[in-house]
Structure 1
Amino acid sequence: MHEQVSSDYNQESLYSIHGRIGRIRFLVYSLLLNIMLIPLVLIAGGLFEAISYLFGSDSLIANTLIFLIGILTFLVYFYILLTPSKRRLNDLNKSGWVSLLWFIPMINIILWLCLVFVKGDIGINNYGAPSRPPSLLIKIIAALMPITIIFMVICIALVLSVFKHAYQL
């Protein structure tokens, strides 16, 4: 019996571009993937500084390497932004291509509101079975998200304040 119940749901992993996810899982996956992006951005920034120091900031080699690292970082960010959105849109029986609306100002706010508040299909749709119900851990993380967002905003404000004083902007 347990095997039959678990096979009725989509079993895709956090990183998968296939399958469907519900509203709570969308919020949590988006948060987790964005948190995982922070070390990547810090590493890229450190590499930018190291390359500029080693080759000089006006060097063609430095500029080329920085450009390539920037492109790689941007592609990873694309994946992180679009993957949960595509899967959530699939839950709404919409094409993942709709997630490109993220890049249109003001429309992206409407897209986010739809992804967060519009209920997905209950049964199987064109994109497969629904995702399994959120676990207790997923629900706890979702409940803590407002606190996490406030904490992240405070951290960003502190970092900007430090940069403002360091560079006297």
Structure 2
Amino acid sequence: MNYNQQSIKGSSCTGLYETTGSGNGQRIHWSGDFQIDPNFNGNVVKGFCFVGLTQGLETRLTDIRSIPSTFDWKVYEETEWKGNVVYDFMSSDTKVDSTSSNTQELMLWLYWQGGQYGWKLYQGVNRDTGINVSSLLAPENKMFGNASAGAFDGDIKDWLVAL
């Protein structure tokens, strides 16, 4: 899926290659490819690709012992770019609710570049959706990679509890 695709001049594609394993050993292999005009539509978010789980998500975060995750990425871009590598979770007390003001969006930024603010934690309301957002950014000197590649291997639950 591609968020905010209407703001893109060019093309974008999300590819799901395969899933292997199960439980804590499950791996999802996917990619996102953007061939876009970065100057189109000013400083508006141009979109992002993601693979989202939408079923079987009724478990409360407090009931989950651990969320081990490995995330490896590569950027094939020869010019400067503005963007981030992020885990993005939607959470709500109401089943199948990802759009109301009861929803919490929790974002864990692993890597970012291109003029973002230097804050470590941002909390506020998305004016477009009314959703409460908490974004935790890795400090600039401790990010999980660089402009061309990176990796994260850890327990995401620790970060989510911190938010």
TM more than 0.5: no
For the aligned pair, the TM-score class normalised by the smaller chain equals under 0.3
TM-score (norm: length of structure 1): 0.24
Bigger relative contact order (CA 8 A; separation at least 6): 1
Considering fraction of residues, name the structure with more strand: 2
Considering fraction of residues, name the structure with more helix: 1
Structure number, greater radius of gyration: 1
